[in-house]
Each structure stands twice: as C-alpha cells, then as structure tokens.
Chain A
Amino acid sequence: MDNGTGIGARVKRKEDHRFLTGKGNYTDDINLPRQTYAYFVRSPHAHATIKKIDTSTARTMPGVVGVFTGEDVAATKLGGLICGWMIHSKDGSPMKAGPHPILALGKVRYVGDHVAVVIAETREQAKAAAAAVDVEYGVLPHVVDVAEAMGHKAQVHDVAPDNRVYNWSIGDEAATDAAFKRAAHVTRIDLVNNRLIPNAMEPRAAIGYYDTGAEHYTLYTTSQNPHVARLVISAFHGLAPEHKLRVVAPDVGGGFGSKIFIYAEEVVCVWASKFVGGRPVKWTAERTESFLADAHGRDHVTHAEMATDASGKIIGFKVHTKAAMGAYLSTFSSCVPTYLYATLLSGQYNIPNIYAEVDALYTNTAPVDAYRGAGRPEATYVVERIVETAARELKMDPAEFRRKNFVTQFPHQTPVIMCYDAGDYAATLDKALEIADVKGFAARKAASAARGNFRGLGYSAYIEACGIAPSAAVGSLGAGVGLWESAEVRVNPVGTVEILTGSHSHGQGHETTFAQLVSDRLGIDINNVSIVHGDTDKVQFGMGTYGSRSGAVGMTAVAKALDKIEAKAKRIAAAVMESSPDDVEFRNGAFTVKGTDKKMAFGEVALSAYVAHKFNSAQIEPGLKESAFHDPSNFVFPAGVHIAEIEIDGDTGVTTVVNYTAVDDFGNVINPMIVEGQVHGGITQGIGQALAEGAVYDKESGQLLTGSYMDYQMPRAADVPSYKLGFTCTPCPSNPLGMKGCGEAGAIASPAAVMNAVTDALGVVDVPMPATPHVVWKQMRHLKKAAE
C-alpha cells in the first residue's frame, strides 16, 4: 500500500498518545464506587504446617470488612489453581500435581505463599489488620535449590515423595548412545540457567466485583489472556458460569509471561466481593509481593554431552535437566521445560540423534512458569554454549563449526518433534559477521589487552518455535486447551472498521500493527480502524498473547475474517452495480466491475450493506460483519545469529557489552519499528540474565534474598549499549502473511551470546550466570593464581 500505513511501513503507534499524556488505563487506575482494599497475609516460612489462624483481633480493627482464610474458601467449594498441561513421565505415569488452594489449607510451601486476606475500607487499614492476623506455624524442613531437591528430606507435596513431578524424556536413547560410541570427540558441559523474576513494570493488580442485583461477577485484572482467565475461573474454580463472569484486562504494563497465569490473588478478589456485600475488592501488589509471588522463570541445572565425528559434524546430543517447578504447578509450568524446551534442542543444526531427559522438581520457592521465551532460552543456552565449547575443543572457528552443521534443506524434521519449515541460517550468519565486524575483532582484543582488559566475542545461533500453536498437536502432547485465535471484523455504515481480537497487547503495539493489516487490505485510512481487545464482554473468545503468537496466529485470524468481508462486500457491490460478483474486483479500497467504468468506494459498499435498499435481502443478509477462528497448521520458526562483544575490566571484573549485533529472520514484517523494539527489549532482558539478574533464596532460611530492586539488579540504561540490528527474510509458509514471531527472540538468543563472549574473554569453559563483577573477579583471581 502506498500511503505509508500498510504492511511493512514504520507506522508510529496509535496507542502512544494516551500513554504519553497520562491517559493510559491500567488496572490500578480504575476505582469503583464503594471499593474496598485487600491485603494478603503471606507465609514468612519456606515450609510449615498451619496450626492455627486467629483472625479475631484483625476483625475488630478499624475499617475491616472481612477476613478470609483457606477454610472459608473451602467452605464455598471454590476449586484450587490448576496446571493446564498434563505431562506424562517416561514410565507412563501422569505428573504429580499437588493441591494449590487459593488460600493455604493446612500448609504453606514457600515464603510469600498466600495464607489469608484482609479486606478493609482503605489499603492502610487492610495492611494494619493483616499484621494482626495471628498464624501459628509448625516449621518444616525446606529445600530451595533444584539441584538438591530430588529425594530431599523436605517433601513439598505428599503426592511426590521424592519431590519429582515427572521424569520425562524425548528422542531415541539407544540411537543416541550408539552415536556416542562412534564419536571421534565428545564435549561435556554443566550449566545452570539462573532463576529470574520477570518484573513487568506494572505490578499485578485486580478488582473483583459481584453485582448482587444481576448476580454477575466482574474481574479487572492484569492479564495477557483474559478469556483464559475467565475459562479457568469458571470451569475449574467454579466461581460462576462464563456468562456470569466478565474479565477485563485493560491497559497492561508489560507481561513477559508473568501475566499469563491465573493467580490466587485475582481469584480471591472476585470471590470475596460476594462476601463483603457485593462491594468491589481491589488489590495491587507491592513490588516486594511481585518478587515473592509472581511466577519466576528458568531455574534449570543441566548436564549436556555432544558427540562429533572426525570431520566436525555433530552426530549426537544428550541432555539431562533438572527443572525447578517451585512449590506448586503454575498454569503452564509443566510444558515449559518439556515441549517448549527439549523440542528445540536441535538448534539450527542437523543433529541426527538427540535424547533428553527432564526431571521436574518441587522446591520451596515461588512457582516457576513461562518467562519471555519460556523453555526456548534454556534450550538455546544449552545448545549454543555446548556448540561453542565443542568448536573451541576441536580448534575450529565457532562460526564455521556452526555453518558446517547448519540445516540447509527444508522442511527439516528434527529428532525432537519439530519440523522446521523455512530458513537460511548461513545468510543470517554472514550478515551478522559483517555487521559485527568480526574481522576487526582481533585488533580490538589486542587494544583491550594493552589496557589490561579482556575482550571476548560470543555467538548465539538460535532458533525458536513460536506462533503457539496447532491445537491438535499440542492436545496430543497434553495441553488442556486449543491454541487457535479468533477475530471479528465489524464494518460500520460509514466504512470505518473495528477489529475485535482475542490477542492482547501489553506493549506489543497491536492497535497499530493490526490496523496496518486492515488499512493495507481494505485500502482505508489507518485512523478509520480501531482495535478492541481485553474484554470478555466485547470479544467473544480468544487465547491471548504469549509465545509470540499474536502476529502469526492472531493476525491470520483477522486476515481470514477480512477475506470473508471482501467476499460479501463484492456480492453487495455487484448487486448495487448490477453486475456479476465474479466480475467485481477489489483493489486500493475500491470495487470495480471488469471492463466497465463502474466503481464504488469501500465506504459506499459499507453504507449499502446497512441501508439494504439495493439488493435482495433474501439472498444477501444486510450488514457487514464477519468473524474467523484460525488454528495454525505448524509452529513458526524464527531464527537468527546474535554476536556479543564484551570487555572485562582487568582490575574490577566489570563486564561491559561493547557491541551487540542481532540478525534475525522473522519472515515478513508488518512494522519494522515495532519489531526492532521487541528485539531491543528481549536482548536487554537476556543481557540482564547473563550479567546482572538472579533470584537468590537463602538455603538456610528459605528466604528470598532478592526481594526488591535494591537486591535484584535490573538492567538500567547505562548497563547496555545501543544495538546493531539486521534482518533476513524467508517467509513463513504456514500462514498467509508469511510472518514468524519476534517477541521473544532477543531474550532467547542473548544469554548464550554474552556468556560465550565472557568465557571467550577469560579462556574458560564456564562462568555462572549472572556474571556479576564479583563472580568474574573471582574467576580472574583464580586464573591468575593458577598461572603463578
């Protein structure tokens, strides 16, 4: 489209004006008449029985309108939190899911576990009364380290005596063992993927409201998928049937996965409203609550081995991972270290034999679930760290070792389920080598050395599977839901358009990119298109936004609905222009009749559809509104090469990312400006993981030591450089727009690139993440001593 707002244009965002002028509408900005405030009593212990809860003092405190415990919840038969993906162990047994009540019943299992709620007239009154709830605990042994969890004397759930949720495997073990027997070389590595806390800048919040007149519930919540929340709260918690529960996720201030899940606090707010006389109940997390009780990410301990033949071809890959689940199975936790992880262990490489085994383990910590990338960063970290290590051991150039093993023929069936549909990995590598000026690296390294510093270069040739996901395929793997998306296109009589989508935008800019698609397709001004999302009363159903799915799945649903709009509009135009629908063409916003000068603008056809004077409404229904559901036929496979160049201060151990290059293949791109922004943000989260961030639980006490921004180091502006980006394009064959996902790629690729650079600089196999100045300084001192 030539007006600069169509597919591929760098359109400035339609949503920005309200965000920039303070008119965003986030959950905590909403206040309802007669609103009350909730404050949660949380466990101070990592693991304890609850002997007694005395709420009598709290109930008499000023402003208190209600105090509720797990027994009150149980008395109303409200169900517990669920995990929506069934994983079976390799022996065929189902995963061991312990109970997860929305307020603790009899036991607490991590510091921050939700024990009771106090509801009062003001937040301060609720907080003061919460401090007066007297809970008598019987402290039990605890385990917080996933490496120690298996068979630990602290048993988190009765159903899992050894703390193991499942022992799952993928791939052919015998064939992989045989490959190792004929290997010329075997590379071994032990890696820890550090636990992260997502930290969307908007803390979670909820307002629950029970309308006693209509006997109807409303929940405003910070969700990436309000329809999934409604489904779970209706079907599994049993609060109310779906037509009696509206869930609204208004503007949401970042998610990164952490706002996919259905959490206790939001369920409590909407449940409790009924028991405080139908007054709205509002809760907003303090940041420390976010640290304690948002689902965390990563936390893997992995041993991996890679077999190569004499020519440097990878012939086998074996992985064993212990994955922390935390104290309870969060909504999608079980699929993260299995189908979102081990299915990507082939990387960009042609590896004929892969076998992986995963032990998922309970620990007395916050639950672990999807965080930006969800399994795929962990897979990329294992693949790209061991590939780099293998290249070094084989004395091969790491880039050329990768190139030698790249998949070059498509489609490519890996030994771990995925079938890669399109890509050109050598092209992304070549472009990255050029942009990063790898040829000039030796000179830059020498210059650093002259200053007493260490310089390193690290690659990460990642691939990921997103556009989640084909429903039948994920269903066969244990998913409890289908992962299609819906769209509805409503054309108004004046020719403006509303798009209702089940996707949800919490930073991704859907109000702009979805409108670009419509503007391009219908040839109408982008300002005549508005996007509606995030409200179950407006959008009939949807699966929400995560797994980089809103473009490939959500926009494809819109495109399908637009096909139907065009088809019906052609019939109307044909009737009005007294011609055959087969002769009507639609281009640049106008309907024309072949071989004539007859012409109608899109808006004229829209008006005709509603006026309905000029066609036989027995044959054509009035109105112009269509909907579609799109179920993808495959995942999409973005891939790219990222190159990090770092410098370590020889005196202090401070690591600086001096250059960072990212070349990505996202297929066709709707808005390059927005795509670049997604990549920037993802890279920064990955640099954060590599150099700064790490959730630390104290082994002795089980307390979270990193419970605020003073203890958990978020990347700040001065911690990262400006990035050099490049793109290649192999259009995705499985959706009509040719798009792949771009939301997670940066976070998937970057930790391995940075740590390959750090280990390159120091000449060591591994440095644990986060490679803080102290960690690196200790490593340097160790190396210095060894040299002496």
Chain B
Amino acid sequence: MPAISMTVNGESVCGEAEGRTLLVEFIREKLGLTGTHVGCDTSQCGACVVLVDGKAVKSCTALAVAHDGAEVTTVEGLARDGKMHPMQEAFKDNHGLQCGFCTPGMVIASIDIVNRLGKDLSEETIRHELEGNICRCTGYHNIVAAVKAGAANM
C-alpha cells in the first residue's frame, strides 16, 4: 500500500492508501476528519467538496494517491483563531443550514465561488454556481442569502 503525504488544514499528514482509496475516505477514515460528508456515489450532491490547492474538488471522485503532496482544506480548517470564516458566519446569520449534512460542501463550494468570481455576486450567479451542491432542507432561499452576505464579508 503506497504511503502518501499531504498538508491538510495546515498540518502535514501522512498515511497509507490503496490505489482505489478515495480522497474522501482518506480524509474521513485515515485522518478522522468527519466534517466532510458523502451524500451520493455519482459525484452529484457536493457534500464532499474540499479545497485542493485552493480549488473546490469533489473528494468522492478523487483518488487519495493522486493527491500526494497536495494542500487540502476541509471544513474543519476554515476557522482562524477560534473565529469562523466569514462564509461560515454568513450561513449561521442567514439560517443557511438545517440538518447540516450538505453544509460543509456547501460552504466550501461557496468560498470557491467567491475566489473565482469575486465578492459581488448576483442571485442568478449564485444559484447557477451552486449546481453541484444539493440541499434537501433549506430550499436554497437562505443559502443564496448566506452566500451573498458571506461573499461581501470575505
């Protein structure tokens, strides 16, 4: 079994991974970071989204061995000095989550949207850009509001 190493949430980590081990399995099972979720098996729902070298990646559709040396940020790594990231704060302030299961992927995808498109996002842009993330609870209304507010504060 090959040994791989990566930087996850700023810490150097290493572990063994089979060739078929998915990045999300490595994160959840080897590293014990269970904030990243698995909601489907077809790369549709987006609950597993993490940042890899600064870009949003569905970790259920990425092999761990292909990310040897990568810099990964999961939802556990967004807060700084005990203070949540502005996008996390915005989700709380706008009631952008209910059961919380899609939330980690939703927050990270939203940060990625701002990283790519800037802070001034229209409702239409936000809705279109969230096509890779499914939420069953909120009806998206408050997620859209949260992304708009979070973007402004980033």
Chain A interface residues toward B at CB < 8 A: 12-13, 15-26, 28-29, 31, 124, 199-203, 251-254, 256, 284, 286-288, 506-509, 673-674, 676-677, 680-685, 708-710, 714-718, 720, 722-723, 746
Q: Please tell me if the beta carbons of A508 and B88 are within 8 angstroms of each other in the complex.
A: no
Are A13 and B74 also in contact (CB < 8 A) when A202-B101, A684-B140 are? no
Contact of B42 (CB < 8 Å), options: A25, A506, A507, A710: A710
Q: Which of A16, A203, A253, A717 contacts B143 (CB 8 A)?
A: A717
Contacts A/B (CB < 8 Å), 25 sampled: A12-B93, A12-B95, A13-B92, A13-B95, A15-B100, A20-B75, A20-B100, A21-B88, A22-B36, A22-B75, A201-B37, A202-B37, A203-B38, A254-B101, A286-B41, A287-B45, A677-B95, A677-B98, A677-B142, A681-B98, A682-B139, A684-B138, A709-B40, A717-B130, A722-B145
CA distance A723 to B134 in the complex (A): 18
Distance from A81 Cβ to chain B, minimum over Cβ atoms (Å): 25
CB contacts (< 8 Å) of A723 on chain B: these are: 139, 141
Minimum CB–CB distance from A202 to chain B (whole Å) comes to 4
Find out whether the CB atom of B42 lies under 8 angstroms from the CB atom of A717: no
Residues of A within 8 A of B75 (CB): 20-22
- Closest residue of chain A to B82 (Cβ to Cβ) is A21
Q: Which residue of B lies closest to A750 (CB)?
A: B139
Contact of B33 among A22, A25, A31, A674 (CB under 8 A): A22
Interface of chain B residues 49 through 105 with chain A (CB within 8 A): 74-76, 78-79, 84, 88, 91-93, 95, 97-104
Also in contact, A17 and B84, with CB within 8 A (given A23-B35, A681-B137, A716-B134): yes
Which listed residue, A24, A25, A203, A252, touches B39 by the CB 8 Å rule? A203
Cβ–Cβ < 8 Å partners of B29 in chain A = 31
Asked if B116 lies at the interface with its beta carbon under 8 angstroms from chain A, I say no
Of B44, B95, B134, chain A has the most CB atoms within 10 Å of the CB of: B95
Q: Is B39 a contact partner of A201 (Cβ separation < 8 A)?
A: yes
Task: Among B35, B41, B136, B144, point to the contact of A21 (Cβ < 8 A).
Answer: B35
Question: Given A20-B91, A709-B45, do A201 and B101 touch, yes or no (CB 8 Å)?
Answer: yes
Report the Cα distance A352→B76, complex, angstroms.
Answer: 59
| A16 pairs with B76, CB closer than 8 A | no
List A contacts of B137 (CB < 8 A).
Answer: 201, 254, 507, 677, 681
B98 touching A509 by the CB < 8 A rule? yes
Residues of chain B within 8 A (CB-CB) of A16 are 91-92, 97, 100
> Nearest chain B CB to A660's CB is how many angstroms away?
10
**B interface size (C-beta, 8 A):** 55
**Who on chain A is nearest to B107 by CB?**
A20
- For A288, list chain B residues within 8 Å (CB): 41
Least distance between B119 CB and chain A CB atoms (Å): 19
**Interchain CA distance A19-B137 in the complex, whole Å:** 14
Q: A677 to B42: give the CA distance in the assembly, Å.
A: 28
What residues on A are CB-neighbors of B107 within 8 Å? 20
Identify A720's interface contact among B38, B100, B140, CB under 8 A: B140
Q: Which one of A17, A21, A124 has the greatest number of beta carbons of chain B within 10 Å? A: A21
A29 closest partner in B (C-beta): B34
B99 adjacent to A20 (CB under 8 Å): no
When the two chains form their complex, are residues A722 and B76 in contact, meaning their CB atoms are under 8 A apart?
A: no
User: Is B126 in contact with A20, judged by CB distance below 8 angstroms?
Assistant: no
Q: Across the interface, do B131 and A716 meet the contact criterion of CB distance under 8 Å? A: yes
Chain B residue with minimal CB distance to A673? Answer: B95
CB neighbours (8 Å) of A746 from chain B are 139
Shortest Cβ distance from A450 into chain B, in angstroms?
A: 22
Residues of A within 8 A of B136 (CB): 199-201, 254, 256, 681, 685, 714
* Most A-side CB within 10 Å, residue of B123, B128, B142: B142
Q: Contact check, A22 vs B34: say whether CB atoms are below 8 A apart.
A: yes
B135 within 8 A of A: yes
Q: How far is the CA of A37 from the CA of B45 in the complex (A)?
A: 24
Report A-chain residues with C-beta under 8 Å of the C-beta of B33.
22
Q: What's the A-B contact tally at a CB cutoff of 8 Å?
A: 179
Decide if A201 touches B41 in the complex (CB within 8 Å).
no
CB atoms of A716 and B101 under 8 A apart:
no
> Which residues does chain B contribute within 8 Å of A287, judged by CB atoms?
39-42, 45
CB of A263, distance to nearest CB on chain B (Å) = 18
Chain B residues with CB below 8 A from A200, complex form: 99, 101, 136
Interface contact B101-A253, CB-CB below 8 Å: yes
Q: B149 in the interface, Cβ–Cβ < 8 Å?
A: no
Question: Within the complex, which residue of B42, B78, B88 is in contact with A708, where a contact is CB–CB below 8 Å?
Answer: B42
> Quick check: A709 and B42 within 8 Å, CB to CB?
yes
Which of B88, B91, B92, B123 meets A722, CB within 8 Å?
B123
How far is B42's CA from A286's CA once the two chains are assembled, in angstroms? Answer: 10
A6 CB → nearest B CB, Å: 18
Q: Among A12, A199, A708, A718, point to the contact of B131 (Cβ < 8 A).
A: A718
A256 to B138, CA, bound (A): 12
Q: What is the distance, in angstroms, from A720's C-beta to the closest C-beta of chain B?
A: 6
Question: Could you tell me the distance in whole angstroms from the C-beta of B14 to the nearest C-beta in chain A?
Answer: 20
CB pair B139 A19 closer than 8 Å: no
What would 18 more interface pairs be, CB under 8 Å, given A13-B95, A20-B103? A13-B92, A20-B75, A21-B75, A21-B78, A21-B79, A21-B88, A200-B101, A201-B136, A203-B39, A251-B100, A287-B42, A677-B138, A680-B142, A709-B45, A709-B134, A715-B140, A717-B126, A717-B143
Cross-chain contact B139 with A20 (CB below 8 angstroms): no
Assess A22 versus B42: contact at CB under 8 Å? Given A13-B92, A254-B136, A714-B136.
Answer: no
CB of B47 within 8 Å of the partner chain: yes
Nearest-CB distance from B71 to chain A (Å)? 17
Closest to A708 in B: B42
Name the residue of chain A whose CB is nearest to the CB of B98.
A507
Chain B residues closer than 8 Å to A681, beta-carbon distance: 98, 136-139
Measured CA separation A674–B141 after assembly (Å):
12
The minimal Cβ–Cβ distance linking A536 to chain B, given in whole angstroms, is: 21
Task: Find out whether the CB atom of A718 lies under 8 angstroms from the CB atom of B92.
Answer: no
- Please tell me which one of the listed residues A254, A683, A709 contacts residue B44 in the complex, with CB atoms under 8 A apart: A709
What chain A residues lie within 8 Å of B95 (beta carbons)? 12-13, 673-674, 676-677
Whether the pair A720, B76 counts as a contact (CB closer than 8 A) is no
- B127 CB to nearest chain A CB (Å): 4
- A681 to B142: give the CA distance in the assembly, Å: 10
Report the separation of the CA atoms of residues A200 and B20 in the bound assembly, to the nearest whole angstrom.
Answer: 27
Partner of A717, one of B34, B47, B84, B127: B127
Known: A708-B40, A716-B131, A718-B127. A22 touches B35 (CB 8 A): yes
Residues from chain A with Cβ under 8 Å of B130 in the complex: 716-718
CB distance from A755 to the nearest CB of B (A): 18
